[in-house]
Structure 1
Amino acid sequence: MNAELIPLDKIRKKCVIEFDLVNKTAFRIGTSIESIDPQEPDNAVLKSDGKPIIPGSSLKGVFRSAYESLFDENCVWCKEIASKEKKKQFNENLESIVKLGKPLDGFHICDKCLLFGNNFIRGRLYFTDSYPENFKLALRDGVMIDRDFECAAEERKYDFEVVEPGAVFKVKIVAVNVEEEQLKKLEQIMNLIELSVVRIGGGKSRGLGVCQVKNYQIRWL
């Protein structure tokens, strides 16, 4: 059966994608909360229990953005369902899928929305937060630029925290009702991570966020 026709409330197949994400260059996902501790850096790394973390939402955003770039589809229908006029038709299509096992004429969900979801469709990929097995933190200096004079702004020096190269983040993605072809597309994104085309975290234009994928495996449940 085509993956598009498998209703989300019925689990036909399920697998777990696991791999180690190792940062080859310094890496950072910052926090928007400023610390009142004067010993903390101006721009700290996002942490949980003292450990740097890659939120599942951040990793999902990386994969979704790369998926859009690689496999751009005509997503007009998916965008139109956000309108009030199309909502009724959308609900009728969902009922058709569940009851009849086939969509109404003209109904189509693009692969991107099918996998990652949108405002009306729940995605089929579940990304967990990733924590490192070992890591080292460091501080780097930065300076704001005065755009008018095209030089360093006076008294605008700051520091930011990074995770030093070599940290091993354990990544886990649960895929529900996903086809083999879609899994191969996800593997292509991992190849782009290996080639440094896809980077993770902030400061990409400064050379940060280059990562490597190791110990990739898929377990069917």
Structure 2
Amino acid sequence: MPVKPLSISIIIPVLNEERHLGALLQFIRQSSSPDLVREIICVDGGSSDHTVDIAKKHGARVVHSEKGRAKQMNLGAQHAQSDVLYFLHADTFPPKDFDQLILNAIKNGHKTGCFRMKFDTQNPFLQCCAWFSRINHILCRGGDQSLFIKSSLFEKMGGFNETYTIYEDTELIQRLYRHTRFQVLPHDVVTSARKYNEVGWLRLQFHFAMIHLKHFTGAGPEELYRYYTEHITTKVHSSISKSA
């Protein structure tokens, strides 16, 4: 009996991403094969801009969801039809031929993993921070590095923990490290440094480190969200207000 060829479902949680989504979807089409990428699913959390229209224009499938990346990505996984799920942020560009790289890793026995990461900036501090993404250790992981995973494993792990309003990527990856052989592929995604520009690169990296520390010392999802809201979200809103 012939073996069913593997394919990938790309799942992108979106919320008011009209500035970035079109360029990403166009890049995906140009950097992958339609024989390998079965579908692109944009899971919208209630956008008030043109995000949904842009997704449809570029041939993506749109699924509507409650706001919250964990909920959005879980819903996208429920709608996905492929053997391999690839979770990608709307402002992160995967490497060329990422689809073939992912499927090669799957065929070599790696059920889950990510890519290394670079920022779209020449800031030496952020370049140094991104360098550590090549190290295969949980402390060096984050959602901006994207995540590929066999759909059967994703289901077995219970998907993303929806009690986490933030940190949902890292929480799942931590569970994957405990139960699987997580792989870091030697190619780079390029992610936006926009939040670092809004908050301040040193300040934001410090607060991200504090969130990591709080989680590792037992803080729950509500405490992490309170810290994020107080120290990061308010800074972003303040920065936007000053520039308006």
Q: For this structure pair, what is the TM-score category when the shorter chain's length is used for normalisation?
A: under 0.3
TM-score by length of 1: 0.24
Q: Choose between structure 1 and 2 for higher RCO, CA contacts under 8 A separated by at least 6 residues.
A: 1
Q: Highest CA radius of gyration, 1 or 2?
A: 1
By percentage of residues, which structure has more helix? 2
